[in-house]
Amino acid sequence: MAQPDNDSRTPDWRLKMSQFYEDTVQNEDHRPCAGLRQELKFCLQESDCVKKNHKTPRECLKVDDGSVPQDCIILRQTFFECKRALLDTRQRFRGRKGY
């Protein structure tokens, strides 16, 4: 007897985030800030802006009409700070942040 897919009933993207942290991921992204990039991408794909308004995730990053959840906006800012830290010369001594 097949069990129902629980992921299809959970609208909250945070409940699905565990899939990115499993050890069985085949195509891991080894770029800096890759974890934040994946979380932001998934958050935007699950937002009303992409699903209902049929916009691309890139277009959704630029709009400020309330269709993008606050969590995605916070992830965007955190991803920006992670990428900015790559250009910081003090980072060579302190090391990259473990996102």
43-69 pLDDT, tens digit each: 999 999 999 989 999 999 888 888 899
pTM of the model: 0.64
**47, 72 contact by CB (below 8 A):** yes
Q: Please provide the size of the chain in residues.
A: 99
Q: What pLDDT digit, counting tens, does each position of 83-97 carry? A: 888 888 776 677 666
Alpha carbons 43 and 14: distance in angstroms, whole number: 8
- What's residue 3's pLDDT? 53
Element (H, E) at 40: helix 34-45
| Per-domain boundaries in the chain | 32-90
Burial of 43 (0-12, 13-18, 19+ CB in 10 A): buried
